[in-house]
Amino acid sequence: MTPFLELPAARPLLLFVSLLVMKTAAMGFATANARRLSKVVLNPEDVGVNPGAHAEAQESPEVLRVKRAHLNDLENIPGFLVVATLFTLAGGSATGGWAYFGLYFAARAAHSVFYLKAVQPWRSAAFGVGQLTQLGVIVHLLMKAF
């Protein structure tokens, strides 16, 4: 059996999976920071740890935007992590790994920036590039399997 790190696409997989997970976690911190800056919390007990904040029944619009960007990551990135791992385990090339995984990471990072800055049509374009990249990996896997 071949050790995992000897698979051609293992190194790009490890790099970009790590970056995607860190990027998704950063969106969680961005949500907390937006909440801190808005001075609006949902739970009354959070007022004590957020100086100057007050409790309301709904998040501020700024916090809701960051949460939607984070939710978009949580809806899209896990599927890519699965197909990227399958690509690697199926013996996908290092070049394919660097191209697919790097492009997907760049598209998702750009999507988050464009989402937070409310920039259209670039947000949609970045989302589309990520989806097409994922589709490319899936087609590659299906071609390999059949």
98-138 pLDDT per residue, tens: 999 999 999 999 999 999 999 999 999 999 999 999 999 99
DSSP-derived letter for residue 17 is H
The Cβ of residue 73 has, within 10 Å, a number of other Cβ atoms equal to 21
Which domains are delineated in the chain?
7-145 (1.20.120.550)
| Cβ neighbourhood burial of 130 (10 Å; 0-12, 13-18, 19+) | buried
Instruction: Kindly report, residue by residue over 50-99, the tens digit of the pLDDT.
Output: 888 988 989 999 999 999 999 999 999 999 999 999 999 999 999 999 99
The answer on pLDDT for 1 being more than 60 is no
Is 36 in contact with 4 (CB distance < 8 Å)?
no
pTM over 0.85: yes
Instruction: Kindly report, residue by residue over 10-22, the tens digit of the pLDDT.
Output: 999 999 999 999 9
- Return the ∠ at Cα 26 (arms to 126 and 131), rounded to 5°: 25
